[in-house]
Amino acid sequence: MPTRKASAAWEGGLRGGKGSYKTGSGQAGGSYGFGSRFEEAPGSNPEELLAAAHAACFSMALSAGLERAGKTPTRIATDAACTIEKVGEGFKITKMRLVVRGKVPGLDQAGFARAAEEAKNGCPVSGALKGNVAFELDAKLE
């Protein structure tokens, strides 16, 4: 299996500094700073990138599980929200909320909810976060 890469650089102090990142494929990159991470300033941040990774991974895991069960989806759309909070003297990612909507011919809501729960437990990004971050899942058929 391949090893994926990304890089980031930071220049300056924490509050006044600035950073940039890019993926090894060159498909994604951007800037980030204290304001875009801990306030509402423009720019990206590590939590946004983690949320994007989780949404993508979860969508693929759910699609694969449904396909294995003979219920190939026509669409899986996942929004992820990653929460960072001050904990003690530092900061901690405390919660990841996944909201998934799916179009799956021939599947009822209960079956979709079960498949989404299995995907949440089987997705590699979920596995990396499990035990460190609280998960919330909202799964509904469209």
- pLDDT tens-place string over residues 71-120: 999 999 999 999 999 999 999 999 999 999 999 999 999 999 999 999 99
Q: Tell me the backbone φ, ψ of residue 53, rounded to 5 degrees.
A: -60, -40
Calculate the dihedral angle through the C-alpha atoms of 102, 99, 136, 109, rounding to the nearest 10 degrees: -30
CATH number at residue 54: 3.30.300.20
So what's the pLDDT on residue 35?
A: 95
- Work out the average pLDDT over 19-39: 95
Which band of pLDDT confidence, cut at 50, 70 and 90, is reported for residue 67? Answer: very high
- Report the domain count for the chain: 2
73 and 125, same structural domain?
yes
51 and 31, same structural domain?
no
Q: What is the mean pLDDT of the chain?
A: 96
- Rounded CA gap, 111 and 71, in Å? 10
Residue 1: inside a domain, yes or no?
Answer: no
What is the residue range of 136's domain?
46-141
- Rounded CA gap, 44 and 32, in Å? 5
So what's the pLDDT on residue 19?
A: 97
